[in-house]
Structure 1
């Protein structure tokens, strides 16, 4: 039920974006996306050509009575597979045909037959069944992490840009780095309880310094952003796992729970990895939004709005925020590939068994057919999402459409 509501909301968003951008502009961008999609999927379909082995391997396969190009099938089925099964796999995948015929068969299987193939050839497990089980886990993790990142980055980015260059009270600029350094030293030589207590004190002081306003608030916000940006996802994930799951048992490592198990159980199983992935994306969004807002705050229309007596809140939210989100929207689309990498690490740390974990397992088992299909699906989602964002520009800033039409 929840998935259906999310799908309806997504389709409604797509319709609104197409209406705001204009059907002609939207169709033009969609046509370009389809062309890129064909080129990318064709490039992905050639992956199997690099797994055929050298000439001696091909000759050895031919001596065994199978096709010279059957190395991917032998790898997927195992060395104990019969000649009949290997040849059937070669015929099914079209490995003896040229690249264009292989691409045509593969595309027909995906688009027309709606058959994703087998996840594991050795046991006949279907990839579609695997994706039905694992894909929602990665999708919910991605959605929650992006919501967390935006909820943190947008208010902090607006506040930091507004306070840049202003006078205000607060701690000296060296206080925040010194506090973080002391946390690291205490964490090395002290116990968990002392480190946690001191970290809470430093966090409270940091919040006070940020909300006190002024140039120091902007400096401290930037310091926190750079600190988060410099921490690898696996370090952040392992630290939170130890603090909340191992040491304090606040988070259970029992695995992912779907919505059918109840909303409470669902969120209890995914809130910590979502926070980890969200914190990893927050500093990028914060820094970009801050930079764009500082630039737009110096424009003439801001001076005109102030002269008309508009409040600072109205100017920030109504006149400055909207044109400042163009770069942020761009990075939201481009960040999908990076988040896929982060999701693989986070799923492994928290034992979520999503698509990232499966992709690692497929590589380890050398299931290149499944890897090929998953990579193509991820590439398609990446292209279509960025096309949707490209069209969304016109809803945020109509000047983009005007420049494209001129």
Structure 2
């Protein structure tokens, strides 16, 4: 089923590209995509062969007989050279035979993909939507506030803010976390308060974005898991619940991992959007719009925001490559059993062909996503033309 859906999406995308940009652009892009897929999967095959140990002995265990190991080597073609193995894997994959996820148990890889791929896909989708919902408004507001006169923070405002944070933290995660949160917020507030001019909205947003960007994903994940799963029973570490179990159960099983990945991506999107907006505000057409009497809000939303999203869209597409990296950490912390965790297991067991197949799927998703973004450029900014020369 997964393979059929993937092929349907691929055919639909090819038709869309041909209709939108023409045969020349489509041939160039998809030709390059095929070359990239070959290089990535063949490179993965070469790297996996450098891992010490015998794959069949590791897969079958030390108690396996010599006959069983020899049969495994012959069946998987591990005694052939890397080119012959790669050609054989390519033929099997294109025919729909993905091989085994666990060779010892003869578990088909396609079953593992159908079970685990939706988990990681939904996790990534929700996290990126959350990151954009936070980053886009804050990025616009920070750029709008840049250069404005700063105002001091009233001293009396610090104490109710810290007290509220402490009480909220005590209710959510216990006194240890509440004290940590209160201190983490009171120090920046005190620094800002004693600054000569005090912080503007732009300075404040950039400061907290920099702080959030400096915190590793596993620290955010472990902290939130402790706060919401250990101190407060607000998130159950019971694994993933599909849509068929109900919408509420589905989101209850995935919301906290999605928040962790979303918070990790938010500062990158925010800072990029803010920088692009500030750059576009210096363009001549903005000066013309101001001369015509247009309001700053109208200029920002109508003439500046659209071209400022090009870099954000590019990074969003490139962030697909971080899918496995972030998924491995988050899935391990929350016992999520997605594709990231399985990929690490497959590498450890030296399931070479399974690893190549998963890498090929991730590479294909990355290429298709960036192809879609290339086409969206022309919709967002008419100055960008989808042609072979750009």
State the TM-score, normalizing by the size of structure 1: 0.80
d(CA) in 2 for partners of 1:102, 1:239: 45
Decide whether the 8 Å contact of 1:229 with 1:283 is kept in 2.
Answer: yes
Indicate yes or no: 2:91 matched with 1:108: yes
After superposition, the Cα gap between the structure-2 partners of 1:349 and 1:38, relative to the gap in structure 1 and judged at 3 Å, is: same
Other-structure match for 1:31: 31
Other-structure match for 1:61: none
Decide whether the 8 Å contact of 1:76 with 1:368 is kept in 2.
Answer: no
d(CA) in 1 for partners of 2:93, 2:385: 34
Indicate yes or no: 2:289 matched with 1:305: yes
Indicate yes or no: 2:244 matched with 1:257: no
Unmatched 5+ stretches in structure 1: 54-70
d(CA) in 2 for partners of 1:339, 1:299: 35
Decide whether the 8 Å contact of 1:296 with 1:324 is kept in 2.
Answer: yes
Indicate yes or no: 2:337 matched with 1:353: yes
Other-structure match for 1:58: none
Other-structure match for 1:158: 140
d(CA) in 2 for partners of 1:271, 1:336: 19
After superposition, the Cα gap between the structure-2 partners of 1:115 and 1:364, relative to the gap in structure 1 and judged at 3 Å, is: same
After superposition, the Cα gap between the structure-2 partners of 1:26 and 1:400, relative to the gap in structure 1 and judged at 3 Å, is: farther
Other-structure match for 2:113: 131
Indicate yes or no: 2:110 matched with 1:91: no
d(CA) in 2 for partners of 1:15, 1:276: 36
Decide whether the 8 Å contact of 2:240 with 2:254 is kept in 1.
Answer: yes
Q: Which string of whole-angstrom CA distances, capped at 9 and with x for unpartnered residues, describes residues 295-347 of structure 1? A: 00010011112222333233222211111111111111222222321111111
Other-structure match for 2:213: 229
4+ residue stretches of structure 1 with deviation over 6 A?
4-15, 199-202
Q: Once the 2 structures are TM-superposed, how far is the Cα of residue 378 of structure 1 from its aligned partner? A: 1.9
Decide whether the 8 Å contact of 2:101 with 2:351 is kept in 1.
Answer: yes
After superposition, the Cα gap between the structure-2 partners of 1:10 and 1:362, relative to the gap in structure 1 and judged at 3 Å, is: closer
3-state DSSP class of the match of 1:400?
coil
Other-structure match for 1:324: 308
d(CA) in 2 for partners of 1:82, 1:46: 28
Decide whether the 8 Å contact of 1:254 with 1:269 is kept in 2.
Answer: yes
Q: After TM superposition, list the pairs within 5 Å mapping 1:168-317 onto structure 2.
A: 168-169=150-151, 171=153, 191-192=175-176, 194-195=178-179, 198=182, 216-317=200-301
Q: Which string of whole-angstrom CA distances, capped at 9 and with x for unpartnered residues, describes residues 87-137 of structure 1? A: 33333333333332211110011112x121111111111111111111111
3-state DSSP class of the match of 2:101?
strand
After superposition, the Cα gap between the structure-2 partners of 1:196 and 1:292, relative to the gap in structure 1 and judged at 3 Å, is: same
Equivalent residues, number: 369
Other-structure match for 1:143: 125
Decide whether the 8 Å contact of 2:138 with 2:205 is kept in 1.
Answer: yes
Decide whether the 8 Å contact of 2:14 with 2:26 is kept in 1.
Answer: no
Q: Once the 2 structures are TM-superposed, how far is the Cα of residue 10 of structure 1 from its aligned partner? A: 9.9
d(CA) in 1 for partners of 2:301, 2:22: 25
Q: Which string of whole-angstrom CA distances, capped at 9 and with x for unpartnered residues, describes residues 200-258 of structure 1? A: 987xx99xx9xxxx971000000110011011111101111111111121222222111
Q: After TM superposition, list the pairs within 5 Å mapping 1:4-43 onto structure 2.
A: 19-43=19-43
3-state DSSP class of the match of 2:129?
helix
Q: Once the 2 structures are TM-superposed, how far is the Cα of residue 371 of structure 1 from its aligned partner? A: 2.5
State the TM-score, normalizing by the size of structure 2: 0.83
Decide whether the 8 Å contact of 1:17 with 1:392 is kept in 2.
Answer: no
d(CA) in 2 for partners of 1:320, 1:355: 39
d(CA) in 1 for partners of 2:144, 2:75: 61
3-state DSSP class of the match of 1:119?
strand
Unmatched 5+ stretches in structure 2: none
Other-structure match for 2:365: 381
